[in-house]
Structure 1
């Protein structure tokens, strides 16, 4: 037998941060050949015209945009998966036709964070024309999943303190999996089916507390009073004494002509403000009155300058904004506290307010670019260090329903979480959702400090990029315990490992929730003896690594050559054999 060569279709990846490195590691683990580039100038040398996909996963929108546009120009059929945070740029790239996906990390991560901070035990998504619900609850008694939940499909079991191995997560167990009281069980079913069993999916919306314009005006006045310079009120009193004293002096001392009280007040105001319209003059008055006028003019200039400076400082000072946010937060209950206003934090705030929840934001940067957005959303902001007790207590964390710690600094998030536990106590029922970047740090923080809701941005976003690069349509991600799960759809290719495979022979850590046949029939929760066929669209749920491994099995075999002969010609020659006599070993990659 001569030497065998396999022609792989490479995946080109650009980026050097935690997300890009995770994507590369996972794709390599799935058997893909990776070519790493640094800029658009490397595309042609990397063989973009023959590659399977181009993944632009770095944090720089400009670099990602350039690579995405040039990759599409060089190869109209290559999959282009680009990370673009700017909404304007994202829309422009989306308008360029071709396979692939334009993804925003904040949009991918925020739904899971919102679910965690609201303590939702249900994750809803629509697929195969049906609305599915992943629903979680604690097991109230010992038994098998079949005995407790009947035909509902298990997604995961997190063993509690009564289990032999507390904290152990069993992904996609069989219905005969034994559970113990206190175990967290996550099941999936069609929404109507769950409701028929008496399982009501809680609504995802609430009603924000409303404040009238009068209340806002009162708060503004009180904030101004508390924030005013201590010299403001003495200066106002002195101004009034000066004005009315000078008015009385002019009323009784000014002659030729005599002045009314209104004329005297008018002339005094002209003199103090140095306006002098010319309709009155001290030129023909007594020496005493003219000397008085000189003092009045100098005194008026000084007091006017002081008042203008104090009022300008009050109106332009950021302390006014700070005080207004603190005052509104004092009256809030059952609200959500969001710490840090980055791209993910503002996305979380938008989703919460859109669903009717009250939100208070803690932010350290007084020049944060999202402050105008928060003003439009009518969300109060407390400026300060989130690791200080006083700042957190100002946001009334002891009366809130959940806290999302979302700053860009992992260490600051961890410190904030530790301070929150000091304030609320280790047994608090309020969920503390902490954003960290990498998967390893997420697991370490959760294990070391006991945080139950640590969310890795990389774990939340990476499956979408990996799935899009390999042809898996990602429908959603969610968490069970501290493990990320994914819902996806894939097409079974002819000649792949899945073509002709029975459900019972598939991975035990993924679950097929539905199959759409080429003729349009939909098989819901296929049984163990159901068989996959080429052209089927399979809807899967499970840990995303397992789904990626299953996706690989659904791909066609690689193009192969033996002693330099064309694999396509060899496959054509083998095509004369009877189908039942062999299983195809060689097949061309599909045109994408």
Structure 2
């Protein structure tokens, strides 16, 4: 499944195969030769969300090129107001670009197809219209960096790379952050808000109905945020811990969310003693069966007991060191018997211990040697290993598509164990996971059995990121049935479905790849720099850095003008005379911005669109 592709009810799959949107002629051609439109190629959920962003937030005309108008999100795209035309082409060829009017377009977004197909289409679009803005979805980010150098007016983004950190951090119960000027910014909720927070980003949070959440409301001044937080924390309102529903009926929303700086990254790795313990036990179980383990444990215990007897009853003047030496020699079969008149070890107890050690060594040494030879020469190291005893406090990733592969890689990079489940044996993420030494369970068996084999009863989190909402919810419910307290993060496209999940299941976080990635793609298509996205439940907060240019909407405005209508918070200002200094919570709200200044803002999608117009 391509980056950002999701199934679900967010786009109506019904309806007729409408050929054109409003304002297009019968042949599906754009209105008039003047152009000035944007082209979006693709019929997946990311293309659908991107078109919504462009038409609703930026209010620009869009021409859509879909592989099939009657499948995926094609029918829903045709019904979006502001879509000038919907053209059907299986691939983005020169003919498709010409029909979409690329020669007169302001920008083109390539949201479907392989990396090679998208690069080919980008080069063709650049050849037809050298000034067109190009944004393409690409999985190989290194290849995308080279393409951006080749085409200066091009941005290569990955939907899965944009969204994966939010899934990984949700599973690890740590905040998802965006780096700005050396600071890691994240969204804190309710009791986690500190007095040194940067700004308020949401109020009126009702976890029973997240559609009522108010993101970045209007403010008359910087003090308004701090007054609101002070009233909330010190005015007698109950602070509701994260993950619990608010008290009282759903008609009484409450709660806050604020943007603040992460001081220290919370530790995730298990203590080395615990990891060593489970690693040794796991290795023993991998190379031996139960009967052989009992023999080894008995022989080792007998050797240890014999060594203690030698230490107590030996008359050798060498002390403890010589006792260990004799014990190891006896276990290896190099026994030195006592000779009358030349006794070395001492009394009869020491001699009995020597005999015990020797016979147990006859059992222990050959078995241990066979295990070592098997590990080195039998090739079992190349065989994928199932989750073993050391797989505890781990994260289970269900689905190894683009998103699942990136999530598994991110969690693995923290040092925590990861186990992956995948039903398609041809999924390309399987090879990537196994190359990192991550166990992968493949099969069509019952999901409950697979989760138990993945040791879900010892897991810290389950991340379900397949392209099917129903399959993701099934994984969440099966995991919850085995271990009710496990942390669950699910990938859901449908907003209504996600709201019901939030309202009925505690300790569950839902994310939508297209919802997280589409704002960044839209901003890139409009030529704006989005540093990252932060989730406030199902809502998206954009962190962007904008340069004030002469004659633009930012020229001559102050921070109060930008923040007043709501939807925008100015986090920091970089003055043109001091470009290296980030002045956080810029105090002079009346100072007007001049060309060369740069501002870092937190904004909603509509807020960002308003600022850059």
Which of 93, 98, 107 does residue 161 from structure 2 map onto? 107
In structure 1, distance between residues paired with 2:42 and 2:437: 37
542, 562, 566: which one aligns with 2:603: 542
For residues 291 and 467 of structure 2, the distance between their equivalents in structure 1, rounded to whole angstroms, comes to 35
Is 1:154 aligned to 2:200, yes or no? yes
| Residue 533 (1) aligns with residue 594 (2) | yes
Match of 1:68 among 99, 103, 122: 122
Q: Could you tell me which residue of structure 2 aligns to residue 78 of structure 1?
A: 132
Query: What is the deviation of 1:543?
Result: 2.6
- Is the aligned partner of 1:399 residue 2:445? no
Tell me the equivalent position of 1:239.
Answer: none
Correspondence for 1:134: 186
Match of 2:545 in 1: 489
Q: 2:50 aligns with which of 20, 23, 32?
A: 23
Matching of residues 80-479 of structure 1 within 5 Å: 80-86=134-140, 90=144, 93-121=147-175, 123-127=177-181, 130-139=182-191, 149=195, 152-157=198-203, 159=205, 168-173=212-217, 174-175=224-225, 176-177=227-228, 178-179=231-232, 180-183=237-240, 185-189=256-260, 200-203=263-266, 206=269, 209=275, 218-222=284-288, 324-326=385-387, 328=388, 330-384=389-443, 388-425=447-484, 428=485, 430-439=486-495, 441-447=497-503, 452-479=508-535
Question: CA–CA distance in 2 between the matches of 1:201 and 1:536?
Answer: 31
Cα deviation, residue 102, structure 1:
0.7
Q: Unaligned stretches of 5+ in structure 1?
A: 192-199, 227-314, 553-592
Alpha-carbon displacement from aligned partner over 1:314-339 (angstroms, at most 9, x marks no partner):
x999xx968x404x1x4422111111
Distance 1:533 1:7 in 2: 33
Match of 1:43 among 81, 84, 97: 97
Q: Residue 513 of structure 1: CA displacement? A: 0.6
Q: What are the superposed Cα offsets for residues 497-535 of structure 1, whole Å, 9 maximum, x if unpaired?
A: 433223223232221111223333544212443433344
Aligned-residue offset at 1:105: 1.7
Give the aligned CA root-mean-square deviation in angstroms: 3.7
1:10 aligns with one of 37, 48, 53: 37
Contact 2:198 2:571 (8 Å CA) reproduced: no
Deviation for aligned residue 1:60: 4.0
1:175-225 Cα distance to aligned partner (Å, 9 max, x none): 13243332554433456xxxxxxxx43346535846899867644434899
3-state SS, counterpart of residue 434 of structure 1: strand
Structure 2: gaps (5+ residues): 1-31, 66-88, 218-223, 241-254, 293-377
- In the TM superposition, residue 14 of structure 1 has moved relative to its aligned partner by 0.9
**Deviations, residues 436-470 of structure 1 (Å, cap 9, x unaligned):** 34555444544465673111011111112101001
Alignment partners' CA distance in 1, 2:211 and 2:199: 21
Question: Deviation of residue 357 (structure 1)?
Answer: 1.2
TM-score by length of 2: 0.63
Q: Distance in 1 between matches of 2:129 and 2:290?
A: 61
Instruction: Between 216-225 and 400-409, report the one with greater CA deviation.
Output: 216-225
* Aligned residue number for residue 55 of structure 1: 109
CA contact (8 A) 1:54 1:469 kept: yes
Secondary structure class of the residue paired with 2:601:
strand
Residues in 1 aligned to 2:157 and 2:211: alpha-carbon distance in whole angstroms: 33
TM-score, normalized by length of structure 1? Answer: 0.65
Question: In 1, are the aligned partners of 2:197 and 2:261 still within 8 Å (CA)?
Answer: no
Q: Which has the larger radius of gyration?
A: 1
Q: In 2, distance between residues paired with 1:550 and 1:422?
A: 47
| 1:61-84 per-position Cα deviation (integer Å, ceiling 9, x unaligned) | 444222111122233332210012
Deviations 1:19-38 (A, max 9, x none): 11111121012121212234
